[in-house]
Amino acid sequence: MTLIYIILAIVIVVILYFVVAYNNFVRLGNNGKEAWSDIEVQLKRRYDLIPNLVSTVKGYATHESTAFEKVSNARAQAMGVGAVGSGGNNGTLEAKAKAEGELTNTLKSLFAVAEAYPELKANTNFLELQRELSDTENKIQASRRFYNGNVRDLNIAIESFPSNVVAKMFNVQKMNLFDLPDGDAAQNVVEVKF
């Protein structure tokens, strides 16, 4: 009789562990999706600011059309990369990171163009847009770190024993980190002084 209780207790503990582990994967996966959503909100804000910034600079630097085209094309390309989902979307996540890196580079060139126009640098609209964009860039970085932290936690849980057994049983997929591609010029800090 005692053996039956011991076996029953072991079965109950194992079942409880599976329930807790599965719920942990659900929580971690949802945290990762929420964190990605935060990144998308900040990217949308960035996309909305760029046309205003470009049009402000255009008013002062009309002969710099190449820089404006590059910024507009990079913005369109970054916006064109679809939403990134969970697990198995390495190509999409890499494409998004690459497009965002290109957009960052073209924005740096736009600010370099603005350097040649002292009256633009004193324009309050330009200064406000520049401040907003800088604030948005900081929020994107914070959101990216938050997303990567959640993805790291999920991936550790998927790879760790014994939770990896539960992950395999329920086909829980790893998520990919949102990082700049290796050798991307956006990793290099360019100082622009106004």
Residue corresponding to tokens 């395999």:
168
Q: Radius of gyration (Cα) for the chain, nearest Å?
A: 23
CB count, 10 Å around CB of 119? 8
pLDDT in tens, the chain (194 residues): 789 999 999 999 999 999 999 999 999 999 999 999 999 999 999 999 888 888 888 777 766 777 778 888 888 888 887 655 544 444 578 888 888 888 888 888 888 877 777 777 777 888 888 889 889 999 999 999 999 999 999 999 999 999 999 999 999 999 988 876 554 444 444 443 43
Domains and CATH numbers, the chain: 2-178 (1.20.1440.20)
Angstrom distance (rounded) from CA 42 to CA 193: 24
- pTM of structure: 0.73
